[in-house]
Amino acid sequence: MRNMELREGIKDSIPIVLGYLPLGFAFGVLATEAGMNLLQATAMSILCFTGAGQYIAIGVMQAGGAVITAILANLLINQRYTLFATSMVPYLKKLPTRWTAFLSYGLTDETYAVAINRYRQQEASISYMAGLNLTSHLSWVGSTVLGAWLGSLISNTERFGLGFALPAMYTCLLVFMVNKKSDALVAVFSAFICLLSAYLLPDSMKNLSNIIIATLIGASLGMLIDERN
């Protein structure tokens, strides 16, 4: 039973693994270019596991910025996880908190999208969480090592098409998720707000607060529509 859930978690992480391959690889390449060694780049992927945040830290480093700048930028960019994690609480509360809290360090945009899609249909479990989050994290670390180590040998990973693994996964999960009209409206409206915010406030695109803005407004619209029905 548990074994099956662990396996399902691992299986569901495959699209994420494919998507992380070029992204982690690129991080490894950029990190070494910015002056990190293999150990530092790997340590960062193990301890931080935040794609956008790690890219920003590297950018700060390369620009000769201060440590605190990189940390503050990350404080901002990672706030969306507060929202993601809070929305998971109702699904995880029956499980032992020490495990759910520990495994939540593997919560990313991608693992959130996959996990919440499952929990809306099936019970959450520690084994599933472990399979999904740990495999995803492992692939992030592994591809970082490859990038930092072999980066100079493979110059262009885009030609393999893996850059579309995550967009394709999001598209599919979105199609799976919107069974109700209210969900579909919320998704479309949130997408629009997210882009509008990026257009009107370019900084919100850099620190990803546009995702927070879109989610707050989108979910509130969901309440309004639902009230009427």
Partner 1 sequence: MSATSVYLMIIGVSIVSLLPRILPIAMLSRFEFPEGLKKWLSFVAPAVLGALTALSIIAPQGSIDISTGNIYLWAFIPTFLVAIKSRSLFLTLVTGILTMALLYNYFGA
Of 11-70, which residues contact partner 1 (CB under 8 A)?
A: 15, 18, 35-36, 40, 43-44, 47-50, 53-54, 57, 61, 67-68, 70
Q: Closer CB to partner 1, residue 10 or residue 194?
A: 194
The DSSP call for residue 180 is S
The footprint of partner 1 on residues 194-223 (CB under 8 A) is 194-195, 198-199, 202, 205-206, 210-211, 214-215, 218-223
Site track for partner 1 across 154-193, x = CB under 8 A: ----xxxxxxxxxxxxxxxxxxxxx---xxx-xxxxxxxx
How much is the CA Rg of the chain, to the nearest whole Å? 18
Q: How far apart are CA 214 and CA 197, in angstroms?
A: 8
Helix (H) or strand (E) holding 29: helix 14-33
The footprint of partner 1 on residues 86-105 (CB under 8 A) is 86-90, 92-93, 97, 100-102, 104-105
Rounded to 5 degrees, what are φ and ψ at 108?
A: -130, 180
Instruction: Answer yes or no: are the C-beta atoms of 140 and 16 closer than 8 Å.
Output: no
The least CB distance from residue 97 to partner 1, in Å, is 5
Q: Closer CB to partner 1, residue 134 or residue 187?
A: 187
The least CB distance from residue 69 to partner 1, in Å, is 9
**Distance in angstroms between the alpha carbons of the first and the last residue of the chain:** 39
Name which position in 79, 134, 145, 146 contacts partner 1 (CB under 8 A): 79
- Contacts of residue 23, Cβ cutoff 8 Å, sequence gap at least 6: 51, 140, 143, 166
